[in-house]
């Protein structure tokens, strides 16, 4: 299979896996939101801040080093596997001992057992991490589809059942732990790689020399992202945190499906051609154009339909999350620029540059956060939007010289899609002023959005539209032949 077909095939499987998992999670979150109070979500969000930060030690850095290294063998994989197991047990011990102090910090004694049980996901992830790296390196993303879906569906059933029978916060805790466990078990069964009885400190040192910079960058990014939740949880109420997180969840769901799919496939593919800079540049440009073409209308459409969507799906008790949702939609719309630029830098082995960029971005972000934190949760959300714009410029800056593809050129490539999406969003939003039922308004908004964006893409001959149409044509022709 040639590189283009292999990349497309894996992208389809990765996207299907993300859509399937996130689709199930989305339905489950709606059901749970109806069964559980906002403060229950806020409680779990407080704990998740800490586990997410520690999860970075497992999921980032050295795992990426295995993917980036051209000649990684069983000794490399086995070394990282055993290193991960020891690391995860240490991290779990830290969380187990720290649980009472975390509970005391938030003045919520009931957090202690929640922290200890939810932290089990750290140990489970350590077992799964190298299997994930193996799948990514060998472009076997079909394996992710089955493992993720099995865990998500099983966890959905258990989570809803526990919430229905009144287990409150434990419904969310057990759901997360069960999901991670089943996901890992299925991946372990379906992926052929097994750790060998071998270990090399020399190999670990080499992989760590590349990976620690990505690890530090990811850790910095995660701490910075979750710091907002820590501050909201401390300075404001659990309900405020729940509304903030719920507003983030909807656009994040879409971004995770698209961005993670492209990110996880693009990085190993770029790593394979890291010595051919023109190819890396072309991949980066195409990724930015096509991803933005898909992302922009979804984000603008979601922002425009936010009010009826939240009211119908989550009930009116969640309407306070709508302003946050709209801010996050604008923030996430430009994420393809972040992803494509950083993937190019990682693939070319410049983890040192990657870390420097992360430090520069977070320095700007921290100033904005400290300035906004005393002016309310909404001010903190707006500061994140401003931070995202500055981060785009910083992420793209090195590629002016590395790829001869700078930020202004990147903006020029995406602006046709962005302006069309904005026009569509305005048209869709105006429909909300009609004196009709919420369901009818939402249906009309979705239909109008699809028609306006598709027609506009055809008339303007947008490159993203043409590219996707070219990919779909062979499949449509096969489908037509099959129906005859």
**pLDDT, tens digit only, all 484 positions of the chain:** 445 555 555 566 666 666 666 666 667 666 776 666 666 666 666 666 677 666 666 665 566 677 766 677 788 888 888 888 888 888 889 889 988 988 887 777 878 888 888 888 888 877 777 787 777 777 676 676 667 777 778 877 888 888 788 787 788 788 888 888 888 888 888 887 888 888 888 888 877 776 667 677 777 777 777 777 777 777 777 777 778 878 887 787 777 666 666 655 555 555 555 556 677 777 778 778 888 888 888 899 888 888 888 888 777 778 888 888 898 888 888 887 877 787 777 776 676 777 788 888 888 888 888 888 888 888 888 888 888 888 888 888 877 777 787 788 888 888 888 899 999 999 989 988 888 888 898 899 889 999 999 999 889 888 778 777 776 666 556 655 655 5
SS3 content of the chain, % helix, strand, coil (to 5): 90, 0, 10
Q: What would the two tokens of residue 284 be?
A: 């980066």
- Residue pointed to by tokens 């830290």: 94
The pTM (predicted TM-score) of the whole model is 0.63
Burial 103-127 (b: 16+ CB within 10 A, else e): beebebeebbebbbbbbbbbbbbbb
355 within 8 A of 345, measured Cβ to Cβ? no
Helices (H), 107-195: 111-118, 120-137, 142-164, 169-190
- Between CA 135 and CA 63 the distance in angstroms is 11
- Are 284 and 203 in contact by the 8 Å Cβ rule? The answer is no
CA atoms of 319 and 57, how far apart (whole Å):
36
């Amino acid at each position: 299979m040639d590189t283009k077909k292999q990349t497309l095939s894996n992208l389809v499987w990765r996207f299907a896996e993300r859509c399937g998992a996130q689709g199930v999670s989305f339905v489950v979150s709606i059901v749970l939101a109806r069964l559980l109070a906002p403060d229950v979500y806020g409680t779990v969000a407080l704990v998740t801040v800490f586990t997410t930060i520690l999860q970075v030690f497992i999921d980032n850095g050295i795992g990426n080093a295995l993917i980036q290294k051209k000649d990684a063998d069983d000794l490399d994989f086995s070394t990282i596997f055993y290193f991960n197991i020891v690391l995860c047990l240490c991290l779990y011990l830290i969380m187990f001992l720290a649980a009472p102090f975390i509970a005391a910090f938030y003045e919520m004694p009931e957090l202690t057992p929640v922290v200890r049980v939810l932290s089990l996901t750290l140990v489970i992830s350590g077992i799964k991490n190298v299997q994930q790296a193996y799948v990514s390196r060998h472009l076997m993303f079909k394996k992710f589809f089955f493992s993720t879906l099995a865990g998500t569906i099983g966890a959905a059933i258990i989570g809803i059942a526990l919430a229905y029978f009144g287990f409150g916060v434990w419904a969310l805790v057990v759901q997360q732990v069960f999901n991670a466990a089943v996901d890992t078990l299925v991946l372990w069964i379906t992926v052929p790689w097994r750790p060998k009885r071998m270990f090399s400190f020399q190999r670990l040192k080499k992989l760590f020399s590349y990976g620690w910079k990505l690890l530090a960058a990811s850790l910095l990014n995660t701490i910075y992202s979750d710091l907002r939740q820590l501050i909201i949880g401390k300075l404001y109420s659990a309900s405020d945190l729940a509304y903030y997180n719920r507003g983030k969840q909807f656009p994040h769901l879409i971004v995770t499906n698209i961005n993670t799919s492209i990110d996880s496939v693009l990085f190993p593919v770029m790593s394979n051609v890291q010595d051919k800079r023109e190819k890396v540049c072309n991949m980066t440009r195409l990724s930015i154009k096509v991803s933005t073409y898909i992302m922009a209308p979804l984000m603008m459409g979601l922002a425009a339909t936010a009010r009826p969507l939240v009211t119908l799906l989550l009930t009116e008790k969640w309407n306070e999350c709508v302003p946050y949702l709209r801010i996050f939609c604008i923030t996430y719309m430009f994420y393809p620029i972040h992803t494509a630029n950083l993937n190019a830098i990682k693939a070319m082995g410049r983890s040192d540059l990657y870390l420097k960029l992360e430090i520069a971005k977070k320095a700007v972000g921290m100033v904005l956060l400290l300035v906004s934190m005393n002016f309310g949760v909404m001010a903190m959300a707006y500061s994140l939007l401003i931070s995202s714009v500055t981060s785009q410029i910083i992420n793209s800056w090195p590629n002016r010289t590395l790829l001869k593809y700078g930020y202004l050129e990147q903006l020029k490539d995406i602006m046709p899609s962005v302006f069309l999406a904005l026009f569509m969003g305005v048209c869709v939003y105006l429909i909300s002023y009609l004196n009709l039922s919420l369901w009818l308004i939402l249906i009309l908004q979705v239909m109008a959005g699809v028609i306006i964006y598709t027609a506009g893409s055809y008339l303007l001959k947008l490159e993203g539209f043409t590219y996707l149409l070219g990919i779909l044509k062979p499949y449509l022709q096969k489908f037509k032949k099959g129906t005859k």
